[in-house]
């Protein structure tokens, strides 16, 4: 067993087997390589969800129609994915990406949570990301979906601001395509915990991770932000 203190909460997790534990251990993120953080965040999320109570696995997440366990299923799917597997499932869904994502998350979400958690740890080094997209997109997936599942339960901690900083410019650029919504370019986003800003106009200020969630169309985070630019949302 191990305990992690995160703000007001202390979480106690069961430790994985030695082999998986070694695979999950990593040095703190350095430079612009997102993959060490991806691996660590996947393992931490697997631990966190596995150790929830069974009724909490059914809690609605911030992803519409998905339970916490469905979010876990989605992250397992992405960690294990290859370009071929993604294309195959996309074709089965009639070429509709949103439909494919939803189907696979719900299907895997019905698998035993302990098995899904083990699979996510084993696949923590998976390096799938959409062709033509920066690798940091994979980091954005695990950061945002971890919040989707755990924030409704009051359990999600915050990633390091430097982790969010790798993803912020990508989501700023691709928000409309990826999330079917975009923060107006006429609004200036300003992080209060790192040196990052984007855009011109009335400001929206907040922690880097909260701005990342806003760019990912998670409007639940608006209450954590401030500034005159909020009126443009």
Domain ranges across the chain: 2-153, 167-232
Model pLDDT for residues 191-221, shown as the tens digit of each residue: 999 999 999 999 999 999 999 999 999 999 9
Q: How far apart are CA 168 and CA 175, in angstroms?
A: 10
189 touches 157 (CB < 8 A) = no
For the segment 181-198, the average pLDDT, to the nearest whole number, is 93
Q: How far apart are CA 63 and CA 170, in angstroms?
A: 20
For the segment 111-136, the average pLDDT, to the nearest whole number, is 95
Going from the C-alpha of 13 to that of each of 6, 29, 43, 132, the distances in angstroms are: 13, 22, 11, 37
| pLDDT for 131 | 86
Q: What is the pTM of this model?
A: 0.86
Assign domain 167-232 to a CATH class.
alpha beta
pLDDT confidence of 16, banded at 50, 70, 90?
A: very low
User: Residue-wise over 88-114: b if at least 16 C-beta within 10 A, else e?
Assistant: ebbeebeeeeeebbbebbbebbeeebe
Going from the C-alpha of 110 to that of each of 17, 88, 89, 144, 158, the distances in angstroms are: 24, 21, 18, 21, 28
Residues of the chain with pLDDT > 90, as a percent, come to 77
203-206 and 188-191 as β-strands: parallel, antiparallel, unpaired?
A: parallel
pLDDT beyond 80 at 71: yes
In the predicted model, what is the mean pLDDT of the chain? 88
Q: How far apart are CA 74 and CA 84, in angstroms?
A: 17
| pLDDT for 7 | 34
Q: Which CATH number fits domain 2-153: 1.10.860, 1.10.260, 1.20.120, 1.10.3470?
A: 1.20.120
Q: How far apart are CA 54 and CA 58, in angstroms?
A: 7
Q: Please report the sign of the dihedral spanned by the C-alpha atoms of residue 15, residue 51, residue 101, residue 198.
A: negative
């Amino acid at each position: 067993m191990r305990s992690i203190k995160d703000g007001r909460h202390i979480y106690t997790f069961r430790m994985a087997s030695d082999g998986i534990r070694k695979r999950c251990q990593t040095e703190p993120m350095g430079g612009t390589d997102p993959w060490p953080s991806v691996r660590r965040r996947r393992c931490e999320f697997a631990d966190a969800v596995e150790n929830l109570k069974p009724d909490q696995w059914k809690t609605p997440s911030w992803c519409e129609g998905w339970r916490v366990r469905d979010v876990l299923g989605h992250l397992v799917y992405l960690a294990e994915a290859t370009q071929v597997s993604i294309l195959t499932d996309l074709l089965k869904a009639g070429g509709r990406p949103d439909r494919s994502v939803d189907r696979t998350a719900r299907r895997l979400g019905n698998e035993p949570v302990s098995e899904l958690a083990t699979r996510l740890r084993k696949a923590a080094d998976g390096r799938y990301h959409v062709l033509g997209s920066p690798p940091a997109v994979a980091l954005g997936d695990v950061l945002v979906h971890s919040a989707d599942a755990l924030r409704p339960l009051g359990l999600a901690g915050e990633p390091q601001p430097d982790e969010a900083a790798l993803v912020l410019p990508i989501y700023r650029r691709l928000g409309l395509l990826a999330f079917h919504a975009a923060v107006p370019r006429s609004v200036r986003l300003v992080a209060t915990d790192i040196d990052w800003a984007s855009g011109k106009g009335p400001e929206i200020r907040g922690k880097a991770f909260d701005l990342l969630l806003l760019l990912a169309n998670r409007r639940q985070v608006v209450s954590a932000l401030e500034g005159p630019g909020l009126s443009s949302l």
